[in-house]
Homo-oligomer: A and B are copies of this chain.
């Protein structure tokens, strides 16, 4: 974790800083850096975003993005994957996707890394839900479990292989089971 210097940083000033790898995030006046991705994290992030876009792109209803910085509610966070509906995707004058996304995604997805603070990840998910995100998935590869967060509902724990992940409106007709998700770890 990279701590901010003693002078409090504003969101605007943070957004002027050079990008880092892994991405840095800003919340509660503090800058933290995401963990270096490992094998399981990378596989799930890549495959899941691909599968989501294979579903979304043909029907032009939305898109999945990896490592997209979302500036919302005074924080600038970078979920592992977000899904934006078509109407949420900000565009430049020429129709390209804009570089600044100041919106809470429909779905925020976090894939837990070894040694990562799960409390901090839950805070990120919870922040998105506060500002309009419909659903948050917290994927724990080591426990083969998905925690599903919704605004105003208790966390749902999915571990049965046949359990289906809850979907936001934009993925209404999409199906994904716990077994399929973690099956992607087998390469």
**Chain A residues at the B interface, C-beta cutoff of 8 Å:** 28, 112, 115, 117-120, 122-123, 126, 129, 140, 142-143, 145, 147, 149-155, 157, 159
With A118-B118, A119-B118, A147-B119 in contact, is A126–B154 under 8 Å at CB? Answer: yes
* A147-B129 in contact (CB<8A): no
A157 to B112, CA, bound (A): 19
Cβ–Cβ < 8 Å partners of A140 in chain B: 117, 119
Question: What are 30 residue pairs bridging A and B, where the CB atoms are less than 8 Å apart in the complex?
Answer: A28-B159, A112-B119, A115-B115, A117-B140, A117-B142, A117-B143, A118-B118, A118-B119, A119-B140, A119-B142, A119-B143, A119-B145, A120-B143, A122-B147, A122-B155, A122-B157, A123-B145, A123-B157, A123-B159, A126-B154, A129-B154, A149-B154, A149-B155, A150-B154, A151-B154, A152-B153, A152-B154, A153-B154, A154-B154, A155-B155
State the number of copies, please: 2
* A126-B142 in contact (CB<8A): no
Return the 3 tightest CB-CB contacts between A and B, nearest first.
A118-B118, A119-B140, A119-B143
Cβ–Cβ < 8 Å partners of A126 in chain B: 154-155, 157
